[in-house]
Amino acid sequence: MTSLAVVTMLVICGTVWGGFAALVVRAVRRESAKVRDRGSRLPPSGPAPEQG
């Protein structure tokens, strides 16, 4: 392969595949943070208060 083709391949593939991978990682992190956030808003677990 010519060096120009190698450089272009690295730049293009790096941007597209690297960009996609980075976006997936960001989405995974944000989803985990949302799950943690929802968990911390739940009332503390324990026996339900007796009725009546």
Partner 1 sequence: MSAQEHFSSRWGLILATLGMAVGTGNIWRFPRVAATHGGGSFLVAWLVFLLLWSVPLMVVEFAFGKRARRGVMGAFHDLAGPRWTWMGGWVALCATFIMFYYSVVAGWCLRYLWASLTGELTRRGSAEVWSGYAESPAAVVTHVLAMALAAAVVWFGVRGIERVAKVLIPTLFVLVVILAVRAVTLPGAEAGLNFLFTPDWAMLKNPEVWLQALTQNAWDTGAGWGLILTYAIYMRVREDVSLNAFLIGFGNNSVSLLAGIMVLCTVFALNPSASQEIVGANNEGLTFIWMPQLFAAMPAGGFFMTLFFLALSFAALTSQISLLELATRVLIDLGVRRHLALLLAAGTGVVFGTFSALYMPVFRNQDWVWGVGLILSGLFFSVAALRFGLGRLRREVINAEGCDLAVGPGWSLLVGFLIPLEAIVLMIWWLYQAHGWDPQGWLDPFGSETAGTVLAQWALGLLGLVVLNQRLARGLKRSCAEEMP
Q: Does 8 bind partner 1 (CB under 8 A)?
A: yes
CB-nearer residue toward partner 1: 4 or 48: 4
Confirm or reject binding of residue 15 to partner 1 (CB under 8 A).
yes
Tell me how far apart the terminal alpha carbons of the chain are, to the nearest angstrom: 81
**Alpha-carbon distance 10 to 3, whole Å?**
11
The contacts of residue 16 (CB under 8 Å, 6+ apart) are none
Residues that bind partner 1 (CB under 8 A): 1-2, 4-6, 8-9, 12-13, 15-17, 19-20, 23-24, 26-27, 30-31, 34
